[in-house]
Amino acid sequence: MATIELSIDLGSKFITIFQRGAGIVLREPALAIVEKVRNRTELRDVGYRASNIGTSSMGAARLIAPIKEGVVVDVDMAAKLLGSFLAKIIPQKLFKPTIKAFVSICCSSSGSERQAVEKCCLKAGIKEVTLVEAPLSLLAYTNSVGGLFVDIGGGRTEIAAVTNHGIATGCSVNIAGDAFNDAIIKNFEKRYGVILGEYTVENLKKTALSFYANDQSTYAVSGGGRDGNPRSLFVSAGEMREAVLPLVESIIEVIESVLKQTPPDLSAEILRKGVFLSGGSLHIPGFAEYLEQCLELPVTVLKDMEGAVAIGGGQFFENKDLLSDMLGVKLQ
């Protein structure tokens, strides 16, 4: 029977799947539209199709996120969502292939959260599941002997000092792209009395937010006033930056705290190589340079900043001994 080997990143907002021999084969939002049919909850759409459907056209259906910030909050629906994604990438044949997967999870996942991920994957049709902390996959991606990894995604920032023998110290915080959006919404409601929608703010963040201090760009934006009437205004890159800076400062404080807890030999390695950055939030212009300035360490933004975890996990198929050393268990 054929075997398909996958590396799956259950990220904070997206699910990314790497297939051995094929590369990244799927990256879609961890969203599903569900509907009650005769006392059963069934999927109507998943991923990008689900995220692009307006709420006004859903009828009795609803949009759900069964995996939030890398944590499975609804095992049954998460299994259906993942199973739907697997069906997209695996050819439908008479004899189903055996699916083996390394599944990257948050380094601070609890025992019950790990069990939920494993149960979800098994119910989705994966035969063999090996859970791997995401920073270990990032180390494999860089082919480094050690380093400090900071992954700033949509719902979570993960920070870990890692060697070939595992995670020396690390943690995760719920401060990332989604928190930036919330801060921008609150800032403009307080300052201008304008309430911006989540879709508007996400687009505004991608086009207007900049950490370059000399960026004086302005952008037109529309939202609802407190009186319910639509309003338009011009916002600057500086105002956007001002709204999210307190959150970025919090991330920097956590990075510095992890550095202080890092063993001396690994600290010396980090001093030489600096910090490896990944995650979708690194698309924000000037963000990496701002972190480098504040940390007073060189930073390297990983080439595939959004797919690095899944790609790195896929490297363990070629070097299972490395993962065995990291996890402290012998893998078959």
Contact by Cβ (8 Å): 296, 252: no
77-112 pLDDT, tens per residue?
999 999 999 999 987 776 788 999 999 999 888 999
Is there a common fold for 145-175+244-303 and 192-238?
no
DSSP code for 223:
E
CATH superfamily, domain at 3-30+65-141+310-327? ATPase, nucleotide binding domain (3.30.420.40)
Q: Where are the domains of the chain?
A: 3-30+65-141+310-327, 31-64, 145-175+244-303, 192-238
Hey, what are 30's tokens?
């961890």
Query: CA 54, CA 37: separation in Å to the nearest integer?
Result: 21
194-237 pLDDT, tens per residue?
888 888 888 888 888 999 988 888 888 888 887 778 888 888 88
Count other Cβ atoms within 10 Å, centred on residue 232.
Answer: 9
Note the pLDDT of residue 98.
93
Q: Is the per-residue pLDDT at 285 higher than 60?
A: yes
Sheet arrangement for strand 194-195: 194-195, 218-225, 230-236
Q: How far is CA 248 from CA 27, 190, 242, 245, 281, in A?
A: 26, 20, 10, 5, 11
**How many residues in total does the chain contain?**
332
User: What are the residues whose beta carbons fall under 8 Å from the beta carbon of 153, sequence distance 6 or more?
Assistant: 11, 12, 13, 14, 176, 177, 279, 280, 281
CATH of 145-175+244-303 given 3.20.20.70, 3.30.420.40, 3.40.50.970, 3.40.50.10480: 3.30.420.40
Q: Which of 173, 255, 186, 177 is nearest to 209 (CA)?
A: 177
Task: Tally helices (H) and strands (E) across the chain.
Answer: 11, 18
Q: How far is CA 65 from CA 69, 79, 313, in A?
A: 10, 12, 24
Q: Which fold has domain 192-238?
A: Actin; Chain A, domain 4 (3.90.640)
Query: CA 268, CA 270: separation in Å to the nearest integer?
Result: 5
156-206 pLDDT, tens per residue?
999 999 999 999 999 999 999 999 999 999 998 998 888 888 888 888 888
18-73 pLDDT, tens per residue?
999 999 999 999 999 988 888 888 888 999 998 887 554 566 788 899 988 778 99
Mean pLDDT of 148-163: 94
Q: Name the residue with higher pLDDT: 56 or 322.
A: 322
Note the pLDDT of residue 325.
83
pTM over 0.95: no
Query: CA 322, CA 317: separation in Å to the nearest integer?
Result: 10
